[in-house]
């Protein structure tokens, strides 16, 4: 079975997910999901509308993760459709983001290794 391709432009998305106001009017609750820490949570549309506007779109937005303290990842926005979650991204925007997310995961792994090495060195010093 062929993989379903992503939309090519913002206008390829259903009208009810193109703006925050349209999602709120239809009762759609988008999900924010981090590609590094894998935490996901519903988006507070009222809060986001107050900060941005009803005409603001989540399509192709990838803000820094604020779901987990210290996470270096980027958040993907998803919307529920036909029993599954679909990405609010167009195909041209995904390739370079895959590379960026991979680099963020590598940086986080390196930071974790460094902290673990420092802890191990401290334990060795304390034992002496």
User: What's the pLDDT tens digit per position in 18-69?
Assistant: 899 999 999 999 999 998 899 999 999 999 999 999 999 998 888 999 888 8
Instruction: State the pLDDT at residue 3.
Output: 47
- State how far the alpha carbon of 41 is from the alpha carbons of 31, 68, 71, in Å: 6, 11, 15
Instruction: State the pLDDT at residue 18.
Output: 87
Percent of the chain with pLDDT over 70: 85
Residues 6 or more apart in contact with residue 105 via CB below 8 angstroms = 35, 36, 73
Report whether pLDDT(105) > 60: yes
């Amino acid at each position: 079975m062929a993989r379903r391709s992503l939309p090519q432009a913002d206008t390829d998305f259903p009208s009810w997910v193109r703006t925050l106001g349209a999602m709120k009017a239809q009762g759609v609750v988008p999900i924010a999901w981090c590609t590094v820490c894998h935490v996901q949570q519903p988006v507070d549309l009222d809060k986001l509308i107050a900060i941005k506007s009803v005409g603001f779109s989540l399509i192709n937005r990838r803000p820094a993760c604020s779901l987990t303290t210290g996470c270096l990842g980027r958040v993907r926005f998803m919307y529920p459709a036909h029993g599954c979650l679909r990405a609010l991204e167009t195909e041209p925007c995904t390739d370079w983001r895959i590379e960026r997310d991979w680099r963020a995961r590598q940086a986080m792994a390196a930071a974790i290794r460094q902290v673990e090495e420092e802890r191990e060195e401290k334990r060795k010093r304390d034992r002496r």
